[in-house]
């Protein structure tokens, strides 16, 4: 009955979790939903068809089915956004905890690097890195991760500093606990909840940044079905085929809204301070 109580208590969280799960399932079972249509299959005689009939969202200049590409695009976006968040979560937590626990030169080096990264406008730096590494989803993920880890490191560091001088930590040191044990047993569990909330609220934003990079041509490469790239490819047809820019954009929007709301709801669930 515990589950039922949880659902009753956190209605909005459960609602958005179900929506997010539906999106993820749509991505996983893309071939089933699209009826086995190949997202890269071009049928030139069907080029630039209006939405409706055989093609729910219409077709692009190569006669590829937009609906299929939008559904498959969820795979690209979700995998990329989750990778970024996972990377910055692990990297930021590790660096922040080390920085806060050891202090001294370790702290100085890590935090000065973080300071430097903050002095660049995110998108500008990510654009330069992704572009120079060469256009690909992987490089876009690397670029966004490189500019975004600092927030997590700072947060983890400040949380560690709060408990660093508590008696129980001192007691652990005195009774001969090994440093790695103290880090994993006391420091990391202390920072995890706050960082999970941050990570959850960041998923939507990361999706937007990644789609932006792809839109500029520094992310996914054709013929990958990716929403930002699809918008870019549809741009020349704004007058003749506006549906090319309605559906992929709407897909980004809906998915980002769901994950942003889920992040907010998760904060309410995990944040005990409000109670």
Partner 1 sequence: MNAKQLGKRLLQIVLVALGISFLTFLITYLAPGDPVRTMFAATGMMPSEEVVQETREAMGLNRPMLVQYVSWLQNCLRGDFGTSYAYHKPVAGLLMDRLWPTLKLSISAMFLMLLVAVPVGMAQATHKNSVVDYALRGVTFFGVSMPNFWVGLLLMLFFCVRLQLLPVVSSAGDIKSLILPSVTLAFAMSAKYTRQVRTAILEELNQDYVTGAMARGVAEWKILWMNVFPNSLLPLITMLGLSLGSLLGGTAVVEVIFSYPGMGSLAVAAITAYDYPLIQGYVLWISLIYMLVNLAVDISYSYVDPRMREGRQRL
Q: How far is the CB of 233 from partner 1 (least distance, A)?
A: 12
Reported residue count of the chain is 275
Nearer residue to partner 1 within complex by CB, 26 or 135: 135
Draw the binding track, 194-223, toward partner 1 (x: CB under 8 A; -: no contact): ----------x---x--xx--xxxx-----
Distance CA 270, CA 200 (A): 11
> With binding defined as CB under 8 A, does residue 170 bind partner 1?
no
Nearer residue to partner 1 within complex by CB, 160 or 256: 256
The CA-atom distances, in angstroms, between 18 and each of 43, 48, 94, 165 are 36, 35, 31, 42
Give the one residue of 9, 242, 268, 271 binding partner 1; rule: CB under 8 A. 242
Give the one residue of 128, 161, 192, 222 binding partner 1; rule: CB under 8 A. 128
At 273, list the tokens: 């301070």
Nearer residue to partner 1 within complex by CB, 119 or 165: 119
How many chain residues touch partner 1 (CB under 8 A)?
41
Q: How deeply is 150 buried, as exposed, middle or buried, from its count of CB atoms within 10 A (0-12, 13-18, 19+)?
A: buried
Nearer residue to partner 1 within complex by CB, 32 or 238: 238
Give the one residue of 53, 54, 239, 273 binding partner 1; rule: CB under 8 A. 239
Q: Which stretch binds partner 1 (CB under 8 A): 49-57, 58-66, 163-171, 231-239?
A: 231-239
> With binding defined as CB under 8 A, does residue 122 bind partner 1?
yes
Note the residues at the interface with partner 1 (CB under 8 A).
112, 115-117, 119-129, 131-134, 204, 208, 211-212, 215-218, 228, 231, 235, 238-239, 242, 245, 249, 252-253, 256-257, 260-261
């Amino acid at each position: 009955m515990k589950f039922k109580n949880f659902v009753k208590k956190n209605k909005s969280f459960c609602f958005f979790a179900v929506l997010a799960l539906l999106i993820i399932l749509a991505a996983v079972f893309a071939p089933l939903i699209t009826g086995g249509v190949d997202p890269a299959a071009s049928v030139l005689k069907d080029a630039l068809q209006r939405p409706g009939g055989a093609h729910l969202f219409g077709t692009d200049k190569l006669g590829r089915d937009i609906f299929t590409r939008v559904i498959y695009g969820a795979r690209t976006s979700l995998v990329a956004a989750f990778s970024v968040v996972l990377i910055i979560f692990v990297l930021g937590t590790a660096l922040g905890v080390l920085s806060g626990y050891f202090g001294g030169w370790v702290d100085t080096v890590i935090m000065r690097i973080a300071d430097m990264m903050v002095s660049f406008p995110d998108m500008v730096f990510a654009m330069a890195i992704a572009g120079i590494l060469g256009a690909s989803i992987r490089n876009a993920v690397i670029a966004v991760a490189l500019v975004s880890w600092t927030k997590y490191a700072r947060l983890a560091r400040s949380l560690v500093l709060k408990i660093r001088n508590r008696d129980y930590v001192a007691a652990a040191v005195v009774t001969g606990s090994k440093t790695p044990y103290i880090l994993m047993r006391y420091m990391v569990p202390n920072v995890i909840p706050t960082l999970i909330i941050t990570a959850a609220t960041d998923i939507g934003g990361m999706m937007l940044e990644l789609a932006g990079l792809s839109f500029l041509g520094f992310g996914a490469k054709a013929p990958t079905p990716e929403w930002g790239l699809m918008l870019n490819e549809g741009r020349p047809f704004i007058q003749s085929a506006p549906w090319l820019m309605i559906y992929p954009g709407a897909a980004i929007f809906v998915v980002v809204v769901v994950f942003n709301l889920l992040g907010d709801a998760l904060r309410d669930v995990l944040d005990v301070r409000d109670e």
